[in-house]
Structure 1
Amino acid sequence: MGTEDYTFPQGAEELHRRHHTVEAPQPQPFLKSLQYSVKETLFPDDPFRQFKNQNASRKFVLGLKYFLPIFEWAPRYNLKFFKSDLIAGITIASLAIPQGISYAKLANLPPILGLYSSFVPPLVYAVLGSSRDLAVGTVAVASLLTGAMLSKEVDAEKDPKLYLHLAFTATFFAGVLEASLGIFRLGFIVDFLSHATIVGFMGGAATVVSLQQLKGIFGLKHFTDSTDVISVMRSVFSQTHEWRWESGVLGCGFLFFLLSTRYFSIKKPKFFWVAAMAPLTSVILGSLLVYFTHAERHGVQVVLLNF
């Protein structure tokens, strides 16, 4: 003890070394090491483990549940789950309906297509998906990029039929690409994106989408197809003579309403449904206001749904 070195009893030092020494692993052959690395990268969840030591019929059932997860949870579905799903569905629909319409307008597509894209993908994902938290449907950035890309090739107002066909073609190939990424288990590519890259992309996308809303707020009929800040601001301030104060008041009023309900729901978490219902409430109130005041005669742009 103290400054003296501790001395192990005779034979204990060898026993201590034997029990606490970690031997280096044996070097693995290159092909085996490569196989292990590929397996860890492409199949980190090891989906084939459950098929080991199973008969043919059991493997078929497990495979069916793996590729169609609805067969996994449907037998356990009950009335309690249905009530919760019904409330969740109404809540999400109140947001998805106006969101789908606005995203269709961003892509210069008929608003009815925005509604289709709001309920068709979730129906498909209910059968093929396995995550309860994943949001499926259109996104603002994809809609905006689609509109900007196609507008360079054809004018949506002059030739809407060709524009619509090009949009369907672009959507089809985007779906094929995404399906291929899933089939070949290439989701690990996302791991190479840094947090700063993702945050920057989200911030830039939010800025671009917000700037595109200036067209509707100011009631402009002609707007730039570019998405950069300079082009958008030049388009806005070069048409000050076309600004409509009616559109500005209506847009800013409902924007204030949405932000207020969100702030209220944050302060009062048990009233979360207030913010969830606010978008659909805005659509209903706005539609009634436009209908009874004939706001379209005063420069307020309206959205017509042709079923």
Structure 2
Amino acid sequence: MIPPLLFQLMILLSWSINALAESPAIAKLNCPTHCGNVSIPFPFGIGTGCYLDYWYAVTCNSSTPILKSINLEVLNISISLEASTILVNHPVLDNCTAGVRRATVNFESSPFFLSDANRFTGVGCNTFAYLFSNNSIISGCISFCDKSNISPEPSNVKLRDSGCNGIKCCQTRIPSSLKLQKLNVSLSTIIFKGEMQGQNKCQSAFLVDQEWLGNNIDSPDKAQGLKHVPVVLDWGIHGSSFDSTERNSSKSYTRTSDCSRVFANISTSTNTSTSTRVHQCSCRWGYRGNPYLLQGCQGKLLPLI
């Protein structure tokens, strides 16, 4: 016969195991939770009534999720204590002429910001790549070709190890103090007398998730052929939309989630200045799930006493 105290402890342990086994909801009720192998948590959603507002609407085309508001493929959406991020597949700017090419990365007015987990990267011979914002250069780099070309990089050396240090590839940070939503990219060729003959004349420039680049590209030559690369965006909820989230239907639920992380970007044009203010939420320590949903953070265990 099982002693009463041991029996009670077994029941509590069983409840705890069941609580761990049940995954907290990530999407609204009766809404798709995945597109292909990509999880789609609220406030993002697939289908009418499944997302918070226009910015978070996702279409699922042949198992490929597309964030409609910025028309980019979604590779991953993350909600954590550290940060809320979305990984998107962003086009690369390339240049195979002796001229100058420019492009604009623009997320203004959206709840998406360029993360400092990205690095600005230039690839190719005699490449001059730089970023400017509000008519000021904020970052840039130059890469050259090793004229001797005697000892190619070992195939097992990744860009993370070699540092992308200026030979066929250069890399720099974007200012972490700025919450950037718009950047202009410029890519041009520096021509020295007698050079560029017999060399690949194409260059490319792009923002890219530094971790992905270091783990997946093992030489500048392979980086040169890229057409799209993963870019990390920080995201949150516009202040104007924040009070309409489900979690705010219950003030008592703030015991399990926290939305105190707020950041803003100020964009200045010729005559106007606008501020984009967003809230980021996370489950409190000991809870897990989706803090943007009512009862979305669950899983704290009962003490076994």
Regarding TM over 0.5, the answer is no
Give the TM-score normalised by the residue count of structure 1.
0.21
Give the TM-score normalised by the residue count of structure 2.
0.21
Structure richer in helix, relative to its length: 1
Higher relative contact order (CA 8 A, sep 6+): 2
Which has the greater radius of gyration? 1
Structure richer in strand, relative to its length: 2
